[in-house]
Structure formats: structure tokens, C-alpha cells
Amino acid sequence: MDSPFGLLAELTYRCPLACPYCSNPLNMAGYQDELATDEWRRVLVEASDLGVLQCHLSGGEPLLRRDLVEIVRDAHDLGLYTNLITSALGLSRPRAEQLRAAGLDHVQISIQSDEPTVSDRIAGIPSFRRKIEAMGLVKELGWPLTMNVVLHRHNIDRVADVLALAEDVGADRVELANTQYYGWAWRNRDALLPSRAQLEAAEVVVRAARERLQDRMDIIYVIPDYYSRYPKPCMGGWASRQLTVTPNGDVLPCPAAHSLPLPRASVRDDPLELIWAEAPVMTAFRGTDWMPEPCRSCFRREVDFGGCRCQAFLLTGDAARTDPVCYLSPDHDLVARAVEAANADSRNDDLPLVPRPHRPGLPLVACPRPARPGGRGSPC
């Protein structure tokens, strides 16, 4: 493809939760200078001109932006399909009704488990009840609802109950996404990686539920990369179909690429079209010319594109290496050892989880919004 069809707009990395599997950057202080409303408006216009059709509004917690309704309205007016990815903390009825009127198309709500105590423990704060109430509000207002559950060693055994919860709340789609090990999840990998027996048991449950619910609910199940024979085709290929704009305006080919030692590109410095076409962060691994062996001569080189560059960098220190998830990679033993440890009889299942820091005392928005003559008034 010559242009991306999806934009992940990470409006803020601030979040009331403290999930230990969060893939947001560890250096949160580097993203406090958030794009203002007018800057996001320009990004949306440039994204639309570039060919983007879908705008996914994420974070952190995007509801912490006072101007979220205005950003949604601008995206809608440009003809973009808008999807709010949220913990739902802060999704009050007045805010939800404003978002509905602004043209928001879809809501995806994360929840950590089906059981309140387990869910609240993983999230780091009491949140389960508010999430369930928010799901009811989403359905009442007529939105399609996706329920997202990040699976890991501490909740994957409850997948049958998680699916029952999805039925109870009337979810149209449920994402059962095993943890991908970036950010805080990378720091907590040894405590989060499930065993092979846990995965096999969960897959049986998911298959049965898919067959039973095929006419009522889409079920997406993503296994951990570490248990795959081949790597996933990350983002459909580097800088091929989607792009990410971070809270401070950095542009990335995927949400985890902030960890790579590549030159920075920012919407505060250059137009989005120029960044997409020419910025080194976008061109570094686009296509197949960059590939080393065994990828270069592999029949799958245009199927999985060498796997995940961020994962290769985290595991080997070299973003140009074959993703060690691949069994053909010369570094595959790095993954094999982690899997072996996760399945060891002597494994200690009380390994501590390092929670992602949350700062609930922060004001709802850090960036002032300049006055706009003739504007629509307060975005609150």
C-alpha cells in the first residue's frame, strides 16, 4: 500500500490504572508536553489527506483529555471512522452522550478479568464495577461494543468466565489478546508468561465458544508470540498500513517503536505526508531489502516481514535481527529459554509484578487549549 489506512492517536499516556502489562513507554516524563487541540486537528486533516480511513483514539486513558469530544467531532467531520479505546473510567452519561452526538462510531473497553477482586488487583485500583456500568451505557446508547481482555498467567485460566461476562454485557466483539512483551509487560515478562498447559486449555474453551457464538459475537484470540513457530506479521509490515502519533507528536510505525534507536520524527516539525514517505523511522524496515538471513531467502519474507522489529531489539539489542520468536532465527534460544522457565516444575508462581505507575491526582488535561474564535465552546 502507498498510504496508511489506520491512525492510532495516542492522546495521552496518563492513566488512572496501574496494569503491569501496559505497553506504554517506561519514560513517561518524556511525553508530558502533549499536543494541543489545534495540533491534533491538523494531524487529523493531514492523516485524512494521506488516505487514513480509521482513527483509533487511545492512550493511556483518552478520557483524561478535556478536548476528546472536540477531537472526535473533527475526526467525524473529516469522514474518519472513530474508535475509542478506553478503560471507561470517566465515561459518565453526560460525557458519553456528548461523544455520541460528536459522531463517535465504536467503543472498546478493557477489563482485567471477569471477577471483581481479580480484575481490581490487576488494574491496581477498584474499577471493575465502573467498567461494567460503562459497558451497559455503551450498549444503551447504541454503540458497537468491543470488550478487550489482556490475557496472562494470572487470568488466562478464567477465559471461560471472561467469555460468559462478554455475553452478559452484550459485547459485539471480544478480544482475548495474550500479552505482548513491550514496555511494562517486558519488565514483568517472567511473571506474566503463561504455561503451555494454560494456553492449550484456553484454546479449547475459545474454539467451543466461537462455534457456539458465531452468529452473535466475534471472538478474536491472539496467542503469545513466544509460543508461535513463526513470528506475527507485525502491523502488516513496517510502515505499510498504519501509523501511530504519540502524545507529544512523535510519529511511529507501531505503538512500541519508541524503544528503537531511530531518529525522531514529529508532527511538530514536519507534515505527516513527508514523515510517512521519507522519515528514517518509517523507511528503516519498510519492504524486504533490509532483511538479513535467514529472512532474506525465506519463503515467508513477505508473509511475516521478518517479525517484530521492537521484539528483536528488546531480545537481541539489534532491531535488524530476525525476530527470535521464529524457530529459524539464530537467536531463537532466547525465546526458548523463557518458555522453558514458564513451564518449569520448579517455577515460583509468586513472582512479583511491577505495576505501571498511575497518577490519579493529575488534572484532567495538561495542555492548555488556545481560544478559537467562532469555536464550538468548551470541549468538556
- Give the H/E segment covering residue 358: none
The sheet carrying 145-151 orders its strands as 218-222, 173-178, 145-151, 106-110, 81-86, 54-58, 6-10, 242-245, 251-252
Say whether pLDDT at 373 is over 80: no
Classify residue 266 as exposed, middle or buried by CB count within 10 Å of its CB (0-12, 13-18, 19+): middle
Q: For Cα atoms 170, 72, 111, give the angle at the middle one, nearest 5 degrees.
A: 35
pLDDT of residue 344: 95
119, 111 Cβ separation under 8 angstroms: yes
- Cα–Cα distance between 140 and 119 in angstroms, integer? 24
Between β-strands 145-151 and 173-178, what pairing exists: parallel, antiparallel or unpaired?
parallel
Summarize the annotated binding site as residue ranges.
15, 19, 22
Dihedral sign of CA atoms 45, 49, 53, 58 in order: negative
Over residues 70-93, mean pLDDT: 97
b/e per residue, 129-141, with b = 16+ CB within 10 A? ebbbebbebbbee
Residues with Cβ within 8 Å of residue 148, at least 6 apart in sequence: 85, 108, 109, 110, 111, 174, 175, 177
146, 106 Cβ separation under 8 angstroms: yes
Displacement of CA 76 from its chain's centroid (Å): 22
Which amino acid is it at 371?
Answer: A
Between β-strands 106-110 and 242-245, what pairing exists: parallel, antiparallel or unpaired?
unpaired
Could you read off the pLDDT of 239-279 as tens digits, one per residue?
Answer: 999 999 999 999 999 999 998 999 999 999 999 999 999 99
60, 13 Cβ separation under 8 angstroms: yes
pLDDT of residue 109: 98
Mean pLDDT of the chain: 91
Could you read off the pLDDT of 143-182 as tens digits, one per residue?
Answer: 999 999 999 999 999 999 999 999 999 999 999 999 999 9
Summarize the annotated binding site for [4Fe-4S] cluster as residue ranges.
15, 19, 22
Displacement of CA 138 from its chain's centroid (Å): 20
Dihedral sign of CA atoms 24, 30, 33, 36 in order: negative
Could you read off the pLDDT of 169-224 as tens digits, one per residue?
Answer: 999 999 999 999 998 999 999 999 999 999 999 999 999 999 999 999 999 998 88
- Nearest Cα residue to 255 out of 329, 202, 177, 322: 177
pLDDT of residue 358: 64
Residue 55 three-state SS: strand
Written as nine digits, the cell of 154 is 494470572
Share of the chain above pLDDT 90, in %: 84
- Distance between first and last Cα of the chain: 38
Say whether pLDDT at 25 is over 90: no
Could you read off the pLDDT of 94-108 as tens digits, one per residue?
Answer: 999 999 999 999 999
Say whether pLDDT at 47 is over 90: yes
pLDDT of residue 212: 96
- Mutual angle of helices 332-342 and 309-316, in 10-degree steps: 80
Q: pTM of the entire structure? A: 0.91
190, 348 Cβ separation under 8 angstroms: no
21, 257 Cβ separation under 8 angstroms: no
Classify residue 3 as exposed, middle or buried by CB count within 10 Å of its CB (0-12, 13-18, 19+): middle
Over residues 286-296, mean pLDDT: 94
Backbone phi and psi for residue 90, each to the nearest 5 degrees, phi listed first: 105, 0
- Nearest Cα residue to 182 out of 319, 43, 327: 319
pLDDT of residue 362: 40
